[in-house]
Structure 1
């Protein structure tokens, strides 16, 4: 009984994996489309304009990440935006000059420089959030509540899976 149940389980898993493998190119194309749109400089510029902000576009993702994840080390921040540490360090210095972030020694490791949002920076990211909400409401206006809720649930599942993927791959080898 266990053997046949196990064979059935293996067969079901094989069909499931085959389905996923066949659908992966479309998933990959969709992710590329989303990332491409999100990384377009003109979209960041439009978001800054909609938020009533006028600083360099390259600073935009940094201030958002500092507000969402801060205090955050500059090395971690550089890794998250795919830029060189020295470039991000200069850009964080610019945000500090603008009064949008402050830098301090790390709380657990004094050698690490952390970026922290300032009250003025929080006002700026709140304006970005309001602009993003206006844009999202327009995008999702024709979606049903259940479709939107399902998207949210699945996006969280996908994001969590991506976060866990390197550890899961290492554990399976």
Structure 2
């Protein structure tokens, strides 16, 4: 890849080997914080909100990239200072037989389009179980709450996310680290 085109691309670019950053461009370093030299050899896992998110999204990547050598999604990532932000990720494997071995990825900060929403721990629990398709009664049974309390949490979630109905809320939550 042309070094100038890579270095000065208007989106964050990284070259990954086994989900470890081999190199990144200036836009990527600016987006996540620091200099390009801070990222060489850094496991991508360190830029995810949690190990669970890293593993969940990695499993999604692998499944899709086994049938096609490209993948894209919108997800929450973590800057070096710990701040979370929404990011659009797109990648292509250069080794289709082993998709994680070598690839090129772009990352774009979309946090202005999708701001982070603060949730209480109980709202987060209700959101997770709602995304898994559980009814208010099933969620209540798992969390030791009445279904009416679960419905009250869902109502607050609908308001916080600007959703009119539960399916719209679940769609908005689908990229959230759960």
* TM-score, normalised relative to structure 2: 0.30
Larger strand share, 1 or 2: 2
Larger Rg: 1
Higher helix share: 1
